[in-house]
Amino acid sequence: MDIVTKAHSAVAGDADSFNHALAPMRIVSVECEPHGFVKGELVVEKRHCNVFGGLHGAMTTLILDLVGFYACLAESSKPGSTVTWNGSTTTDLSTSFLRKVPVGETIVIEARSLRIGRGMRFAEVSIFRKRDGALVATGRHSMYQPAHAAQTSSRL
């Protein structure tokens, strides 16, 4: 859990970054075996919403992007892993928006790494309403780590 919490603090803690909107997200649990799994919670704030008062699609996609990365990072941190991280580039991110989430609602985010290769990583992310478990959005995330990024970043 340590590396994911540290990554979340570095990525979402940068006040000058778009990712800062996820600073209030709380990491609830992290597993690294057999595959990376991260669970988080976020109370939807007005700044996360569109003009109609629902969770904005761009915010939903940001959640899928970051928490999918965290799941792959978790798997990479398991004992004996030789995979390292120093940034990655999203190559594909697909999102299905299923339900509106209003301001004040708590969402639960669950991300699983699907495959970690030498250069590519794949994750699946689901977002649920906490109060009733209804699926709000789901997506798949593919990431590429350039060969020159073979060392773990000092930010992580």
What pLDDT shows up at residue 21?
Answer: 82
- Cα distance between residue 142 and residue 122, in whole Å: 5
What pLDDT shows up at residue 86?
Answer: 63
- Cα distance between residue 59 and residue 96, in whole Å: 13
Q: Taking a C-beta distance cutoff of 8 angstroms, is the pair 37, 28 a contact? A: no
What pLDDT shows up at residue 85?
Answer: 62
What pLDDT shows up at residue 30?
Answer: 92
The mean pLDDT value for 5-11 works out to 81
Q: Taking a C-beta distance cutoff of 8 angstroms, is the pair 128, 71 a contact? A: no
What pLDDT shows up at residue 119?
Answer: 84
Provide the edge-to-edge strand list for the sheet that holds 37-43: 26-31, 37-43, 106-116, 120-129, 135-144, 89-97
Q: Is the model's pLDDT at 19 over the cut of 90?
A: no
- Cα distance between residue 106 and residue 115, in whole Å: 29
Mean pLDDT of the chain: 86
Question: How many angstroms from the chain centroid is the CA of residue 40?
Answer: 9
Kindly indicate the confidence band of residue 75, based on its pLDDT and cuts at 50, 70 and 90.
Answer: confident
Q: Taking a C-beta distance cutoff of 8 angstroms, is the pair 41, 106 a contact? A: yes
Least confident range from 2-11, 30-39, 128-137, 145-154: namely: 145-154
Helix (H) or strand (E) holding 62: helix 57-76
Q: Which of 120, 147, 125 is nearest to 138 (CA)?
A: 125
